[in-house]
Structure 1
Amino acid sequence: MKVTSLSRTLLTRVLSFYFVLTFLVTCVQIGAEYFNTKEHIKRELLTIERTFSSSLTRAVWELNTQQAVDIAQGLVDIPMIKGIRVTDENNQVITQLGEVSNSTKYQLKNEDDGYLNINSSSDGLFGHNFSLIFEFSGRTTKVGSVTLLSSNQVIFDRIEVGIYFLIGNAMVKTAALVLLFTIAFNKLLTNPLNELTEQMNQFDVDDPEASKLHIINYDHNELSILQDSYNNLITELARHKEKLADAQYEVMSTNDKLDEQNLILEQEVARKTSSLSTTMLKMETQQRELIEQQTQLKAENSRRSKTEATLMQTNNELKSSIAELNKAQVRLLEAEKMAILGGLSAEVTHEVNTPIGVSITSTTYLADLLSELKRDVEENKLSKRGLEGFVEKAEQSIELQLNNLNRASELISSYKQVAVDQTNDKIRKIDLCKYTREVVNSLTPKIKKTNHVININCPQSVEVYCQAGAISQIFTNLIVNSLTHGLDKTVNGEINIDISKQNDTVHIHYSDNGIGVSEEQLGYLFEPFYTTKSNQGGTGLGTHIVHGLVVDTLNGTISASSPEGQGLHFDIRFDNMQ
């Protein structure tokens, strides 16, 4: 079997990786030298443009072809420039020298710097194009263009020495690294491994102690650990060899005793065989009984399998029914929200009609006053007293209009903000105190029909990031719930809303002085479809919606209490969502 050198394998892999890495780095350096030199040549072409553009422009403008040819010849003599083409304003060639032909195709790569891509039979060409602009009497005229061409050969000539230096440097470093690695691997790995192998090959089975490894190694490394482990193994082997000799002696003694026991055992076997025959007859009888019981169990198992299949089918039907019920519950929740919003819309519309009607009546009255004033002016009957009376009545009419229109505007603005937020889940920054007043203001048509009062107690500004729609729905449902259930039999009801903020936690305490609920009803307060007025159209979803908005939407907590004779209280807490 061919033996593969471990040190040679490691050396080959390390050096292979280094060769590839050195080759890639050298290629990158050569590429960088190439592109840097190419950019330098482009900048030199721009310098030539600034140096010779004025003289070429004048020569083309004055139709001095010979001068243009001489300038072009001088430019071609520059080693960097391999070709030049000069054209007039009609793109007709005036002169072209060097590696330029009519078959060469030019493609402008960047109009700002005039850099060209060259499609030519001559490989490796690139260049710079610029226009010849002649200024006369403050006006500029394009009289032609110039194309300067260079080639990759110029770049290679400039970086040739650098390339040789990079390659030579890489080869020297690689050779030095190969030499250092070879010496290190031979000294630290190959030679110690060969010495260990030679000593292991001299192992003597009869005298293991003489086969221990004795290598002078001053470094405590893996090889010294291997040497110690091998020597420990030899020591264990010698000890087990002694134990094996003792065990062989014990085995021989035991064999003698075993022969004596075999005679006794044969006699006992003969006696037991007779007893075993009787037992076998009994077992056959029991086997027949077990087969009958197994048949009965199979029948019972088949019956239970059918029952299990029926139960699984029923379970699947129940799961489908529960899913449909959940969907129906979600639809009912959305319908309840929209029903409250629709009721508010109808009441706000009715409430807005009153100030608008008053405004229309006032406007009609003001129009009549204007008609009378116009008639008096036309008949020359206008008096100072009549004019003062018109002004007084007009001011009263306008004031009445402004008051009523402002009232209608406030109602519409509050309702619009609440309605938009209730259909929008966007998180935004709100002043909770001001926003709560807007929600209460949107409920004015419903509250106006009663003698109840809503008190809002909070600092001047409680700013919080949250879903404004959830806040408006919570207060709307709580107030409607109080008006419908808690204060329906109370003449002068009172609702208190206390708002506070500590660090990033908002605390809202909502209470009314209504009839409250019993302890039994309090346990079902947040359950869906639980209502004490089911025969009066109640859905039982109001407090359930509030609980879902606080817990699921605002990630907060809500609790309810109803002290005897003190109405119903809600404690709501949630954190700033920023």
Structure 2
Amino acid sequence: MTTVKTGLSRKLLTRVLSVYFILTVIVTIGQIFTEYLSTKNHIESELKTLKNTFSTSLTRAIWELNTPQATSIAEGLLELPIIEGVQIRDEMGEYIANLGNTSEQVSTPVQSGVMQDHTGGIFGYSFPLIFEFSGRASHVGDVTLYSSFDIIFGRIEVGVFFLVGNAIIKTTFLVFLFMTAFRRMLSEPLAEITEQMGAFDAEHPHESKIAVFVEDDNELRQLQYSYNQVIDDLIISQNKLHGTQEALQRAYRQLDEQNLLLEQEVARKTASLSQIMLDLEQQKDELIANQRELRQENEHRKRVEDELRERNTELARSMEVLDQTKDQLVESERMASLGGLVAGITHDVNTPLGVSVTAASFLQDRIATLQKGYEQKSLTNSQMNAFIEDAQQTSALLMSNLHRAGELIASFKQISVDQTSEAERTFNLKVYLDEVVQALAPHFKKNAHTISIQCPLDLVVRCAPGVIAQLMTNMIINSLIHGFETMRKGRIEVEVSVDDTNVTLVYKDNGKGLTEAQLDKLFDAFFTTRQDKGGSGLGTHIMYNLVTQTLDGTIKADSAPGEGLRYHITFPHHQ
């Protein structure tokens, strides 16, 4: 049997005792440190108590400039067991006495009692000397009393030795107790079990059971029981194995008989197999011919693949040309929308400008008449009053029409600049929507269509305003051209709402609507219901790209025949 190099009980005992030893060292050190701190605090209290003992006489001696007496007091303090050094300074920070083990101090006088640690294992208590005379306090100097670690250790030396000795005695006793308990309860029973298990005889397993005396019903007894149970199972298995071996021998005899029959059958099968091999040779020749035809077919397919690659390359170039053409068509669509605004705004501006020209011409004629009467000295008060009244009415008419024309031009200028630029700016959405509708007003003059906008008056957004103008223009023009194609009185409603993160714009009309098939293709490029009437099919496609790419939002459309068209647009709210 192989000898165990590291016993389980020894390893367990070593770990337990190591943990106990570490804990004992930590606790002992903690107790010594606590005793040290307690003793140091006691000595500091004694140093503070000494202040009341000699400060009065020392203060008077310094006040009276009696340096020998002050030195004598310092020497007397140095004789005390807890004092290792004394420093006495005057009010200028000059040393009167500097005796024993001391440390250099700053020149600033001490203003209040303070305890301070110094290098070399010493610490000191410094306090000022105040002399009171005629109700007035005067600072005459300061005193520092020094003590050291040696004094503290001298007081706690016996206690430290007692703590260390106590820890050593307890550790020694515990080591002896653990070693005895481990040897009796674990090492010896384990050794006996190991010895009996090492004597296992496979030929006589019933004699290999282990019998170890264990006082308690513990793991060792369970190990003994489990091992003996394994021996019992092994005996049962051996008995079954003997029966199986006998059955196997009978099966071998039957197998020999079957082998004879099988050899006879193999002989018969060999003859038929030879015929099958001849057939396989013929099939092999046919397979070789088929492989030759397949190789020719593969070469043909390679030529076809080369032609397909050339066609794909040509198709890719055509797609690039198509994308460029598409971009040009999109830009043309935007310019066409801006051109529609120009035509409408030109007609609206011409009306107030024509009225203004007529008014200015009338006013010019009246001024010429007035000047002629003035030169001929035939001007009367009634003529002058009539001229003033006409001039007031004409100037009022002229100003109102010029103001109207200026508003139209300013609105068109802002919208046209926004539509040709994608620069972002902050603007009031309600005011801007009204300006877009005002710019599109000429398109509503020839019919009875109406448009209403519901939007918070203080809603301010930051985005490219040209995008909003392009969206509104495309939706309104599409409603006028497609939705209201056969209607005289259409209605457009725009509702704008806002929450913490998004702005929602809902546009709807009561036009003829779209079928389900048309609605599925609404945002596709080049899709239009007026292909035969010059429609480009890019208006809604531009809208989709503006919302999803420029505004980083979403756009959805709902419609049914006879129920109008509804757009639901959502984009982030940036202020």
TM-score for both structures, normalised by structure 1 = 0.54
- Cα drift, residue 29 of structure 1: 3.3
* Residues 440-496 of structure 1: CA deviation (Å, up to 9, x unaligned): 3576655665695432589xxxxxxxxx99x76599966863355237859985422
- Cα drift, residue 151 of structure 1: 0.6
Match of 1:232 among 229, 234, 255: 229
* Residues 366-397 of structure 1: CA deviation (Å, up to 9, x unaligned): xxxxxxxxxxxxxxxxxxxxxxxxxxxxxxxx
* Structure 2, unaligned runs of 5 or more: 317-322, 328-333, 335-423, 442-449, 481-488, 529-535
* Residues 173-203 of structure 1: CA deviation (Å, up to 9, x unaligned): 4345435544543454334324433443454
The 1-side partners of 2:146 and 2:208 are apart by 82
Instruction: State yes or no: 1:455 paired with 2:454.
Output: yes
* Structure 1, unaligned runs of 5 or more: 319-324, 330-335, 337-421, 425-436, 459-467, 551-557
* Residues 378-427 of structure 1: CA deviation (Å, up to 9, x unaligned): xxxxxxxxxxxxxxxxxxxxxxxxxxxxxxxxxxxxxxxxxxxx899xxx
Change (3 A) 1:207 1:150: same
Residue range with higher mean Cα deviation, 69-78 or 208-217: 208-217
Specify the alignment match of 2:30 in structure 1.
28
Asked if the contact 1:81/1:148 (under 8 Å) is kept, the reply is: yes
Specify the alignment match of 1:482 in structure 2.
472
Instruction: State yes or no: 1:157 paired with 2:154.
Output: yes
Specify the alignment match of 1:200 in structure 2.
197
- Cα drift, residue 5 of structure 1: 2.7
- Cα drift, residue 10 of structure 1: 0.8
- Cα drift, residue 571 of structure 1: 7.9
The 2-side partners of 1:112 and 1:542 are apart by 78
- Cα drift, residue 143 of structure 1: 4.3
- Cα drift, residue 84 of structure 1: 0.9
Asked if the contact 2:114/2:127 (under 8 Å) is kept, the reply is: yes
The 2-side partners of 1:34 and 1:168 are apart by 17
Asked if the contact 1:474/1:549 (under 8 Å) is kept, the reply is: no
Specify the alignment match of 1:543 in structure 2.
547
* Residues 326-382 of structure 1: CA deviation (Å, up to 9, x unaligned): xxx9xxxxxx9xxxxxxxxxxxxxxxxxxxxxxxxxxxxxxxxxxxxxxxxxxxxxx
* Residues 540-563 of structure 1: CA deviation (Å, up to 9, x unaligned): 43321588457xxxxxxx854346
Corresponding residue SS for 1:212: coil
The 1-side partners of 2:128 and 2:526 are apart by 85
- Cα drift, residue 116 of structure 1: 3.9
Specify the alignment match of 1:62 in structure 2.
64
Q: CA RMSD in A?
A: 6.0
- Cα drift, residue 239 of structure 1: 2.2
Specify the alignment match of 2:345 in structure 1.
none
Change (3 A) 1:34 1:258: same
- Cα drift, residue 95 of structure 1: 0.8
Specify the alignment match of 1:568 in structure 2.
566
Change (3 A) 1:261 1:455: closer
| Corresponding letter in the other structure for 1:2 | T
Asked if the contact 2:491/2:509 (under 8 Å) is kept, the reply is: no
The 2-side partners of 1:447 and 1:226 are apart by 96
Asked if the contact 1:526/1:544 (under 8 Å) is kept, the reply is: no
- Cα drift, residue 272 of structure 1: 9.1
| Corresponding letter in the other structure for 1:543 | V
Instruction: State yes or no: 1:17 paired with 2:40.
Output: no
- Cα drift, residue 18 of structure 1: 1.7
Change (3 A) 1:270 1:498: closer
The 2-side partners of 1:176 and 1:529 are apart by 100
The 2-side partners of 1:228 and 1:70 are apart by 89
The 1-side partners of 2:214 and 2:525 are apart by 84
* Residues 270-299 of structure 1: CA deviation (Å, up to 9, x unaligned): 9999999999999999999999989x99xx
Asked if the contact 2:494/2:505 (under 8 Å) is kept, the reply is: no
1:114-153 correspondence runs (5 A): 114-119=114-119, 123-132=120-129, 143-153=140-150
Asked if the contact 2:113/2:128 (under 8 Å) is kept, the reply is: no
- Cα drift, residue 78 of structure 1: 3.1
Specify the alignment match of 1:222 in structure 2.
219
* Residues 212-252 of structure 1: CA deviation (Å, up to 9, x unaligned): 34456675543343223222221222223223434454565
1:360-509 correspondence runs (5 A): 439-440=429-430, 446=436, 453-456=452-455, 481-486=471-476, 489=480, 493-497=492-496
Question: Number of aligned pairs?
Answer: 429
- Cα drift, residue 14 of structure 1: 1.3
Match of 1:241 among 231, 238, 241: 238
Corresponding residue SS for 1:568: strand
Corresponding residue SS for 1:239: helix
- Cα drift, residue 164 of structure 1: 3.6
| Corresponding letter in the other structure for 2:150 | Q
Change (3 A) 1:255 1:452: closer
The 1-side partners of 2:135 and 2:525 are apart by 87
Match of 1:510 among 506, 513, 516: 506
Asked if the contact 1:529/1:541 (under 8 Å) is kept, the reply is: no
Change (3 A) 1:472 1:162: farther
Asked if the contact 2:552/2:571 (under 8 Å) is kept, the reply is: no
